[in-house]
Structure 1
Amino acid sequence: MIDFLVIGGGIAGISAAARLSKLGKTVVLEGETALGYHASGRSAAMFEENYGAPTTIALNAASRAFHEDKELLSPRGIMLVGTSTEAEAFEADKKSLKLTDIAVSEAQDMIPILRADNIDRAAYHADAWDIDTDRLLQSFRQMGQENGAQILTGREVTQIRRASHGWQVTTAAETYDAKNIVNAAGAWVDQIADMASIPPLGFTPLRRSMARIAAPGGHDPRNWPMLFGPGEDWYAKPDAGALIVSPAEEDPTTPHDAYADDMTIAEGFARYQPYVTEPVTRPLSTWAGLRTFAPDRNLVLGPDVNDSSFIWCAGQGGYGMQSAPGASQALADIIGGGTYALPIETMAQLSPARFADR
């Protein structure tokens, strides 16, 4: 008998499985042929502790030691630039991200393609890091397997039924008997809930598109910080000797294998272009991912109020990679009945109980 049947093999599911495998027999079912295929594999992969809602920031802080202990982080830094017409949004972002004002000339020293004739303000801090996402996934995978967890790919769930012992979950390959289901299906979490006759919570997948362009003007961008426009209207991030540019859009959509829209990519280039001297070139590649949020944009961790054997691990949005160590430990604290590593108030804001009236 399986104690915890985890549906979803992205960072949410793999990290949850790693933690829960210490509490009982754990199996992961991933519908794709590889782990981290959807949102997890299309992340900007940054650890910025001050990024997200207050509960997400708390989870980020709780995740830091894991990232550091596993040597998953490499220096990147983060920079915000703006113009006189964007002063209010600039100040709001600077405050929320805890950035420090720097001279435009200093910003140009770090990113030489910045346009000093347009940009009149900049802010920066060094405490932002690239995450080795594959190593993160594999670290949790190894943790789970060392505790006996079974991780299965190519196992799309087709049916979920109640049983006397808990649940029967069917794929094209076989049927699995489990005491508990852990719903970590990313953009598909409400669909999984519906299959189990559990009321959905109203998650919304939001598309975000990205384009990789050649290194601008022959520069080597590998040591440049991640660059944002005010209001997160766009961002640019070095990637494998090239540059990723995104309009940072949040377009509501349905759960699917997301792809970039050409017009949206063009809009992202149009937002980015006024801040840099080098003209945008034809993209080397484009892609999109889905950032899935609960209605209040906080993660949802713990047993459903209608059935404690149906456990939510959902709503990571764009913060899954950086918050996964803290979020998965919080989930294990809830299920294991141990002492919470996070404050009670934070745990309450993450609990499915906040949707009790749905």
Structure 2
Amino acid sequence: MAERYDVVMIGAGIGGASLAANLGTGVSVAILEAEAFPGYHTSGRSAAFYSESYGGPVVQPLTTASLPYFISAEKETGEAWLGTERGALYVGQAHQREALHQMRALYPALEMEVIGPEQVAERAPMLRPEWRAGGLWEPRVRDINTATMHQAFLRTAKRNGGVLKTGWRVTSLRREQDGWTISSGSEEIHARVIVNAAGAWADELAQLAGIAPIGLVPMRRTLVVLRVPQAEYRADAPLVLDVDGSFYFKPDAGTYWVSPHDETPSVPCDVQPEELDVAIALDRLEQATTLTISRPERSWAGLRTFAPDRAPIYGFEPTAPGFFWCAGQGGFGMQTAPAAGVLCASLIHGEPLPGALLEAGVDAEAYSPARFRATAGK
């Protein structure tokens, strides 16, 4: 006889884990993970940072709403989900000064400041003179302790009675009168609600359920770890980003983490870094800084999955009762996870959003999958 749950999460990455943790004790929950351990793909490969401007104005309310949860989690558990404030410095050459002002205008309520060449040089002295033409300073940016947060969500879900099943690859989804039957070979689980938290595989999972895909696109992002001479390393350096998105770098434990900010469409897979992308990352760093470029210590890649409008997808599928989307988090899934988990849990329970989310400007309709369904409002 099939095991029965109120809610079954398909995917144990940060999306599924944060939602499972927020469903509470009054609902039976199972989390199904195809891999041998949770977070094997994108969630386990994130170089995440908390930045209210990262992801665009539609994502910003979720990021802003997440900060109180980040802070309260540390007070309650003694585990720091966030590092100390390092700040982010968006930089540009002379022809990019206007882009800095345009970016500032997108976020009138955020603590951000356009600064001049001297202030840029003070914060990031490794930048070449041509990259000090101007900067946009965002002081509240911090690193995210991704593994700590992810594991904390999974522990909370387990403490609430949730069950994690690894190595459980979904092979079929069948709609029943009272919910869904989920199969993996000869094993079956029944759920009143299924949550599509399958990351890069979310559209494939929807099709398995007979639901039209949304048009999600997994995109490869490359990270390179470079060790420089000790005299060149600055542990207190900010996260430095090209305002036009061609690179970013930040210090970490005696090294710099560098990305060419690539977004290369990919099929869902266990993605690996391409030699060309690693070379591009190092070349862009060399062009922008005076850092000594040597053979990188290591590199890796992850898939960031975007919806066509680059906003996340949270909510019930209007064409299939009991099918809930938790997908399309792009590169901002970690920084929005606390608020996104609360948002999704409220939607599943049919409850109003908490005041903390509403005060931050979170609008559930902005993330609803109904925006992709022409028949949803008819």
Q: Return the TM-score normalized by structure 1.
A: 0.94
- Structure 1 letter corresponding to 2:278: I
Structure 1 residue 172: Cα displacement: 4.7
Contact 1:27–1:149 (Cα < 8 Å) also in 2? yes
The question of 1:20 aligning with 2:37 is answered no
- Structure 2 letter corresponding to 1:248: H
Structure 1 residue 166: Cα displacement: 1.8
- Residue number among 296, 319, 327 corresponding to 2:332 in the alignment: 319
Structure 2 residue aligned with 1:236? 249
Equivalenced residue count is: 358
Structure 2 residue aligned with 1:160? 173
Structure 1 residue 315: Cα displacement: 0.7
- Residue number among 55, 59, 63 corresponding to 1:56 in the alignment: 59
The question of 1:224 aligning with 2:242 is answered no
Report SS of the residue matched to 2:38: coil
- Comparing 134-143 with 185-194, greater Cα deviation is found at 134-143
* 1:114-133 correspondence runs (5 A): 114-116=127-129, 118-133=131-146
| Alpha-carbon distance in structure 2 between the residues aligned to 1:215 and 1:172 | 50
- Comparing 120-129 with 105-114, greater Cα deviation is found at 105-114
* Structure 2 CA distance for partners of 1:216 and 1:96, relative to 1, 3 Å: farther
Structure 2 residue aligned with 1:351? 368
- Comparing 255-264 with 96-105, greater Cα deviation is found at 96-105
Structure 1 residue aligned with 2:164? 151
- Residue number among 1, 8, 11 corresponding to 1:8 in the alignment: 11
Structure 1 residue 242: Cα displacement: 0.6
- Residue number among 171, 175, 192 corresponding to 2:205 in the alignment: 192
- Residue number among 97, 100, 107 corresponding to 1:90 in the alignment: 100
Report SS of the residue matched to 2:171: strand
Contact 2:90–2:136 (Cα < 8 Å) also in 1? yes
Contact 1:29–1:151 (Cα < 8 Å) also in 2? yes
The question of 1:40 aligning with 2:43 is answered yes
| Alpha-carbon distance in structure 2 between the residues aligned to 1:175 and 1:64 | 39
* Structure 2 CA distance for partners of 1:209 and 1:162, relative to 1, 3 Å: same
Superposed CA RMSD = 2.0
* Structure 2 CA distance for partners of 1:174 and 1:279, relative to 1, 3 Å: same
| Alpha-carbon distance in structure 2 between the residues aligned to 1:67 and 1:45 | 14
Give % identity: 36
* 1:246-257 correspondence runs (5 A): 246-257=259-270
Q: Please give the per-residue CA displacement for 1:209-253, whole angstroms capped at 9, x wherever unaligned.
A: 111100356433322110011211110012222111111011111
The question of 1:309 aligning with 2:322 is answered yes
Contact 1:217–1:278 (Cα < 8 Å) also in 2? no
* Structure 2 CA distance for partners of 1:309 and 1:103, relative to 1, 3 Å: same
The question of 1:290 aligning with 2:303 is answered yes
- Residue number among 84, 88, 103 corresponding to 1:78 in the alignment: 88
Structure 1 residue 265: Cα displacement: 1.9
Structure 1 residue aligned with 2:313? 300
Q: Which runs of 5+ in 2 are unaligned?
A: 75-80
Q: Please give the per-residue CA displacement for 1:139-166, whole angstroms capped at 9, x wherever unaligned.
A: 2112211210011222121222223432
- Structure 2 letter corresponding to 1:288: A
Contact 1:118–1:274 (Cα < 8 Å) also in 2? no
Structure 1 residue 86: Cα displacement: 2.1
Structure 1 residue 351: Cα displacement: 1.0
| Alpha-carbon distance in structure 2 between the residues aligned to 1:356 and 1:339 | 23
Q: Which runs of 5+ in 1 are unaligned?
A: none
* Structure 2 CA distance for partners of 1:95 and 1:265, relative to 1, 3 Å: farther
Contact 1:23–1:336 (Cα < 8 Å) also in 2? no
Report SS of the residue matched to 1:91: helix
Report SS of the residue matched to 1:208: strand
Contact 2:172–2:208 (Cα < 8 Å) also in 1? yes
* Structure 2 CA distance for partners of 1:345 and 1:107, relative to 1, 3 Å: closer
Contact 2:61–2:362 (Cα < 8 Å) also in 1? no
- Structure 1 letter corresponding to 2:371: R
| Alpha-carbon distance in structure 2 between the residues aligned to 1:223 and 1:30 | 38
* Structure 2 CA distance for partners of 1:278 and 1:26, relative to 1, 3 Å: same
- Residue number among 206, 216, 220 corresponding to 1:203 in the alignment: 216
The question of 1:261 aligning with 2:274 is answered yes
Structure 1 residue 23: Cα displacement: 4.3
Q: Return the TM-score normalized by structure 2.
A: 0.89
Contact 1:9–1:28 (Cα < 8 Å) also in 2? yes
- Structure 1 letter corresponding to 2:91: V
Structure 2 residue aligned with 1:335? 348
- Comparing 132-141 with 15-24, greater Cα deviation is found at 15-24
